[in-house]
């Protein structure tokens, strides 16, 4: 095992912008060799757990298929196939967030005992001070029909694993949480 690297020194942590969900900071940092970055961009979600979990992503299984939501992502100027996902609310456990987001975004629900952790991932460790908790939702049932009420949400569709492979190969699924959850799910099955 390699020895622990020397720490990076934080000289300043300056708030430069904020909105309802995020705070943006410029950090002045220094490496042990003296290299410095004066405006290192850090995007920090306002609500987080002690492990920096700021959101959840759910891999829902309904009638043997995986549910994906087609969502418009403005920074990419494109629609993308993604898992149902969203932010945790203040004081909310990630498991509760996962069940809430599943229902809000798909109309599906599952029993708490059918919700299984697929672990954490860092969506963009170079910029975001955040981790996302991935969940598998087995034996989902339909509680209500899909509603495109949330901004940018266009469609809900169910895919076989083979169809998901094709979507990945064609580049129609690019969101890292969906990719990581898919590969972790395949390794658990």
- The CATH number of residue 103's host domain is 3.90.79.10
Q: Is residue 134 part of a domain?
A: yes
Around 169, how many Cα atoms within 13 Å sit in the side-chain half-sphere?
6
Based on the domain organization, do 80 and 154 belong to the same domain?
Answer: yes
Q: Is residue 21 part of a domain?
A: yes
pLDDT at 81: 96
Based on the domain organization, do 37 and 72 belong to the same domain?
Answer: no
pTM: 0.92
| Distance in angstroms (rounded) separating the CA atoms of residues 108 and 140 | 6
**For residue 156, which of 58, 86, 85, 69 has the smallest C-alpha distance?**
69
| Distance in angstroms (rounded) separating the CA atoms of residues 172 and 81 | 6
Residue labelled with tokens 């961009």: 41
Based on the domain organization, do 30 and 110 belong to the same domain?
Answer: no
Q: Is residue 68 part of a domain?
A: yes
Q: Is residue 3 part of a domain?
A: no
pLDDT in tens, the chain (189 residues): 778 888 999 999 999 999 999 999 999 999 999 999 999 999 999 999 999 999 999 999 999 999 999 999 999 999 999 999 999 999 999 999 999 999 999 999 999 999 999 999 999 999 999 999 999 999 999 998 878 778 888 899 999 999 999 999 999 999 999 999 999 999 876
Based on the domain organization, do 64 and 31 belong to the same domain?
Answer: no
pLDDT at 189: 62
3-class state of residue 76 by DSSP = helix
Query: What range does the domain containing 36 cover?
Result: 9-45
pLDDT at 157: 97
* β strands within the chain, DSSP E: 9-18, 22-30, 36-45, 53-62, 65-73, 78-82, 85-87, 108-109, 115-121, 131-137, 141-142, 153-159
Based on the domain organization, do 29 and 61 belong to the same domain?
Answer: no
């Amino acid at each position: 095992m390699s020895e622990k690297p020397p720490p990076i020194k934080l000289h300043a942590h300056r708030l430069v912008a904020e909105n309802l969900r995020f705070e943006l900071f410029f950090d002045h940092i220094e490496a042990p060799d003296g290299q410095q970055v004066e405006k290192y961009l850090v995007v920090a979600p306002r609500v987080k757990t002690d492990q920096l979990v700021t959101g959840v992503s759910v891999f829902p299984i309904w009638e043997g298929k995986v549910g994906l939501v087609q969502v418009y992502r403005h920074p990419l100027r494109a629609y993308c196939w993604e898992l149902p996902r969203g932010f945790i609310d203040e004081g909310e456990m990630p498991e509760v967030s996962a069940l809430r987001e599943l229902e809000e975004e798909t109309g599906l629900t599952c029993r708490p005992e059918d919700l299984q952790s697929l672990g954490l991932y860092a969506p963009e460790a170079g910029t975001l001070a955040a981790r996302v908790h991935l969940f598998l939702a087995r034996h989902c049932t339909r509680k209500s029909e899909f509603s495109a009420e949330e901004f940018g949400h266009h469609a809900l569709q169910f895919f076989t694993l083979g169809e998901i492979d094709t979507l990945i190969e064609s580049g129609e699924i690019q969101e890292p949480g969906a990719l990581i959850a898919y590969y972790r799910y395949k390794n658990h099955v």
